[in-house]
């Protein structure tokens, strides 16, 4: 029995991969992501020990590109290349954790609202709507004030404001799944609420959640850079958005220090685009109707 | 569903009138539910706005008087004036009655009624955001239709790729880059503001337009991808339909099939999206207005956040959220008018 289940899962995974591989943009996104994840993991190894030190910086402040510093230096004399490498850690961390919060809450509330219905469900959807109209920036500012300026604050602010989208999607999918006859069969055989939700609804909702997850990481990273740019992040972490803000502060715009402004922005675009491409490719595999069109 | 459940009546007119009456009731109920839901949301926003900004620490009076020689008595006096010394319940009651009269109190930093400030800053934002929505919707829909009709072609793939890339660009960064290249670099456009000083009369129109180019390009670039993608997938959905096959079989020209048959149907989901976006885009202008020092609501909001200027931020928060709620409601009410299939 168990062996059979595993064999089936392996086959499904293999089929998924062979279809995913056909989408060139998706594969490109996956490669870019792998590179960024690798860079983030190896950051302490591939950069010198004093890469982020403000007191003992490797170079002199605001130098243009040179042989030692291919992308120049920032206002403290740190190499821009190292700043980008360390920034990838912040962006990916925030992206993953914020998405985790958002997906966990969204899936939980979406399934509950879809499964139970009635006034509880209506109330839950009202709350969802209320979170939907709330501008995330305002919530971020208020949270930053209460929790202090840190990565956790940004993660919580993004997670808390982005779960309603997932919840609506999951609720719709739950309603569709629950209308199928095999749910009725499970109920007739004595399956309780928990059994139906975890063993029948959840596995069927997961594919759509997976696609949503990948797309959401991208937008979470974009929001993080915005928050950091507005100065809501931890002042000691070198996130990409914070680097752009620092560049604006020292007047990089009017003195046209392109090496200070361009690289962090390009890094953001690459990572967000990579997540979007992978998410769309996954969607395409799961929804054959979409696949023919691309 | 409900219609087929009706017994076949001997007198057709009677059945007809029964059906009409239940239809009217159903429609009224649908509109009532939507309207009631919006009102509940609005009330929740008003509540949130009060409590959310009370938890922001920082003493507005101290920030306002920063760097000026003021005595403790004077600070107390200011606190009394702003009503910050009263108990929370009393503050809340005066806030609530004020909001219902559209009176958001006086701004701490400008020392003027928030309503007046909003009135002054509203039009620059409406001008910028309105123009950007019109342009990005037109551009996105046009490219979306073209892409779907020739899907898989080189131009379709290039357009989709460009749109997705621009969608991934942080708007504040794009704004800075545009300033570096075209304003402080080439000097073609002004770096900030909405008008030059000393320009009067009809001359103001080209002047404002000149100032608006870069902020407009920034807003359009990051937003139009959404319209393109939704129009493209919506039209692709329609293209497989039987009625399109019929239209082609009748021998209609390709352009007629597209314009008269496919596009009007595919426009439906897009209309909803445009409305929902309209609500959010006002708030989305905060960053672009700040970068370009555009004298609109977004910049006002940003300046209010740093003090913190409670009445100002509260008022704008309510306004921004109300815009989203209103646009959602309009989309809900308009959709059945446009699409008879979902008519309640």
Tell me, yes or no, if B164 comes closer than 8 A to chain A by beta carbon: yes
Task: Judge whether A226 is closer than 8 Å to chain B, CB to CB.
Answer: yes
Identify the residue among A135, A144, A244, A287 best suited for mutation to test binding to B, counting B beta carbons within 10 A and taking the highest. A135
The ipTM (two decimal places) reads 0.83
For the structural domain made of A32-44+76-293, what CATH number should be given? 1.10.3720.10
Reported confidence tier of residue A271, pLDDT bands at 50, 70, 90: very high
**Vertex B218: Cα angle to B217 and B221 (nearest 5):** 80
Residue A169: closest CA among A217, A120, A113: A113
At residue B253, the 3 state secondary structure works out as coil
Least confident of A218-232, A270-284, B11-25, B242-256: B11-25
pTM as predicted: 0.81
Write down the pLDDT at residue A35: 92
Q: Does domain B30-196+206-342 have CATH number 2.102.10.10?
A: no
Contact A145 B56 (CB under 8 A): yes
Residue of A nearest to B53 (CA): A142
CB-nearest to B321 from A133, A226, A262 is A133
Q: Which of B179, B236, B287 sits opposite A226 (nearest CB)?
A: B287
Contact B170 A138 (CB under 8 A): no
Structural domain spans, chain A: 32-44+76-293
pLDDT at A31: 94
Which of 236-295 (B) contact A at CB < 8 A? 236, 279, 283, 286-287
Per-residue model confidence as pLDDT tens digits over A177-201: 888 888 888 888 888 888 888 888 8
Measured between CB atoms, does B158 come within 8 Å of chain A?
no
Residue A220 has pLDDT above 70, yes or no: yes
Which structure tokens are listed for A46? 């591939």
Burial status of residue B289 (CB atoms within 10 A of its CB: 0-12, 13-18, 19 or more): buried
Q: Which residue has the higher pLDDT, A105 or B107?
A: A105
Confidence (pLDDT) at B330: 85
- With an 8 Å Cβ cutoff, are A256 and B172 in contact? no
Query: What pLDDT score does B211 carry?
Result: 86
Least confident of A258-262, B184-188, B210-214, B338-342: B338-342
CA distance A223 to A95: 9
């Amino acid at each position: 029995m168990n062996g059979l289940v595993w064999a089936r899962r392996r086959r499904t995974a293999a089929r998924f991969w062979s279809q995913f591989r056909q989408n060139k943009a998706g594969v490109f996104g996956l490669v870019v992501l792998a590179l960024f994840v690798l860079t983030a993991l190896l950051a302490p190894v591939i950069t010198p020990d004093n890469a982020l030190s403000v007191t003992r910086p490797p170079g002199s402040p605001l130098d243009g590109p040179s042989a030692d510093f291919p992308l120049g230096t920032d206002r403290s004399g740190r190499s821009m290349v190292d700043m980008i490498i360390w920034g990838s850690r912040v962006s990916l961390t925030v992206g993953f954790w914020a998405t985790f919060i958002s997906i966990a809450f969204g899936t939980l509330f979406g399934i509950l609202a879809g499964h139970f219905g009635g006034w509880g469900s209506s109330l839950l959807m009202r709350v969802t709507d209320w979170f939907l109209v709330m501008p995330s920036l305002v919530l971020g500012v208020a949270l930053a004030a209460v929790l202090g300026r840190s990565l956790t604050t940004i993660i919580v602010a993004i997670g808390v404001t982005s779960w309603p989208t997932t919840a609506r999607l999951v609720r719709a999918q739950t309603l569709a799944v629950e209308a199928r006859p095999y749910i009725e069969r499970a109920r007739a055989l004595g399956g309780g609420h928990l059994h139906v939700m975890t063993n029948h609804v959840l596995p069927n909702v997961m594919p759509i959640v997976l696609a949503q997850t990948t797309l959401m990481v991208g937008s979470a990273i974009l929001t993080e850079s915005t928050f950091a740019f507005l100065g809501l992040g931890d002042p000691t972490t070198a996130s990409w958005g914070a680097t752009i803000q620092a560049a604006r502060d020292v007047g990089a715009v009017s003195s046209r220090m392109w090496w200070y402004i361009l690289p962090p922005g390009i890094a953001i675009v690459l990572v967000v685009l990579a997540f979007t491409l992978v998410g769309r490719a996954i969607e395409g595999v799961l929804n054959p109707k979409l696949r023919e069109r691309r | 569903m409900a219609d087929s459940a009706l017994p076949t009546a001997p007198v057709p007119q009677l059945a007809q009138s029964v059906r009409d009456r239940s239809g009217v009731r159903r429609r009224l109920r649908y509109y009532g539910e939507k309207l009631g839901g919006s009102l509940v949301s609005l009330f929740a926003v008003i509540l949130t706005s009060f409590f959310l900004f009370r938890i922001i620490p920082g003493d507005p009076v101290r920030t306002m008087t920063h760097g000026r020689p003021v005595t403790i008595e004077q600070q107390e006096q200011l606190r009394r004036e702003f009503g910050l010394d009263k108990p929370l319940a009393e503050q809340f009651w005066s806030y609530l009655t004020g909001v219902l009269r559209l009176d958001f109190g006086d701004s701490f930093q400008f020392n003027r009624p928030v309503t007046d400030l909003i009135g002054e800053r509203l039009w620059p934002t409406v001008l910028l955001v309105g123009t950007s929505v019109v342009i990005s919707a037109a551009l996105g829909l046009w490219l979306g239709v073209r892409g779907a009709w020739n899907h898989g072609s080189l131009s379709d793939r290039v357009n989709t790729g460009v749109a997705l890339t621009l969608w991934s660009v942080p708007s504040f960064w794009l704004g800075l880059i545009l300033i570096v290249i075209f304003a402080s670099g080439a000097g073609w456009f002004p770096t900030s503001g909405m008008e030059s000083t000393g320009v009067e009369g009809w001359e103001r129109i080209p002047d404002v337009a000149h100032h608006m180019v870069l902020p407009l390009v920034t807003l359009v670039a990051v937003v139009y991808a959404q319209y393109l993608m939704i129009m493209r997938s919506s039209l692709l959905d329609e293209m497989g339909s039987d009625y399109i096959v019929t239209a082609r079989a009748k021998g209609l020209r390709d352009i007629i099939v597209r314009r008269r048959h496919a596009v009007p149907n595919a426009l439906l989901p897009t209309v909803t999206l445009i409305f929902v976006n309209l609500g959010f885009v006002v708030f989305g202008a905060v960053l672009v207005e700040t970068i370009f020092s555009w004298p609109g609501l977004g910049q006002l909001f940003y300046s209010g956040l740093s003090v913190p200027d409670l009445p100002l931020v509260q008022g704008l928060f309510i306004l921004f959220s109300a815009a989203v709620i209103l646009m959602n409601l309009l989309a809900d009410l308009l959709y059945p008018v446009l699409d008879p299939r979902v008519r309640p």
